Amino acid sequence: MAKILDAITPELASFIEEQTVFFVGTAPLSPSGHVNLSPKGLDTLRILAPDRVAYLDLTGSGNETAAHLRENGRITFMFCSFGKTPRILRLYGRGRVVLPDSAEWADYAERFPQLPGTRQIFVAELELVLTSCGHGVPVMELVEERDTLTRWAAAKGSEGLRAYRLEKNSRSLDGLPAPSPGEGE
């Protein structure tokens, strides 16, 4: 049965730390806008407090999460157990973007591995924590982490990443502006 909580319990914190993949969902305010759901991995999520999490975001094909958070702040994280014990965990909250040139960057960045292509950190204050059964999720095993994204970013280099972000990551699919370096909060 589903359980509604105010914060991440120690048991749920252990569950989160065991997961090798999580999902991030955001959406624009417009009812005709596109809902974004992104899988994440590479040890990029940290629990900062029972009601606060952060994740390191790497350069990718889009920047929907940043644009949506800039517009309305809504964010949901989902974790699924792919092991023998079924469980789904969702964290609902309000998020914001921390850019590399912001005053608080160093405080957050030191918590994460240094990965090529690091773009920003999302920090979320949680409003609701929800567990559910996960009985419909298959049992699977991790074979290995992919290194494709980090190899691609390393090959691009700083200038190549800057140009790519300007071309591909400055607006959402719906045309919402995404934060960019120089806008440090």
Q: For residue range 58-96, what is the model confidence (pLDDT) as tens digits?
A: 999 999 999 999 999 999 999 999 999 999 999 999 999
Q: Residue 182 pLDDT more than 80?
A: no
Residue 73 lies in a domain: yes
User: What DSSP assignment string belongs to the chain?
Assistant: --EEESS--HHHHHHHHH-S-EEEEE--SSTTSPPEEEEE-TT-EEEEETTEEEEEEE--S--HHHHHHHHT-EEEEEEE--SSS--EEEEEEEEEEE-TTSTTHHHHHTTS---TTEEEEEEEEEEEEEEE--TTSPP--------HHHHHHHHHHHHHHHHHHHHHSSB-TTSPBPP-TT---
Domain membership flag for residue 155: yes
In a domain, 151, yes or no: yes
The mean pLDDT value of the chain amounts to 95
* Structural domains in the chain (count): 1
> Whole domain around residue 85: which residue ranges?
3-168
**What is the model's pTM?**
0.94
pLDDT tens column, 152-162: 999 999 999 99
Establish if 180 belongs to a structural domain. Answer: no
Indicate whether 183 pLDDT > 70: no
183 belongs to a structural domain: no
Q: What is the CATH number of the domain that holds 63?
A: 2.30.110.10
CA distance readout (Å), 132 to 24, 33, 86, 87, 160: 17, 28, 9, 6, 43
Any domain includes 118: yes
Is 179 a domain residue? no
Q: Which tens digit of pLDDT belongs to each residue from 99-114?
A: 999 999 999 999 999 9
Asked if residue 161 belongs to a domain, the reply is yes
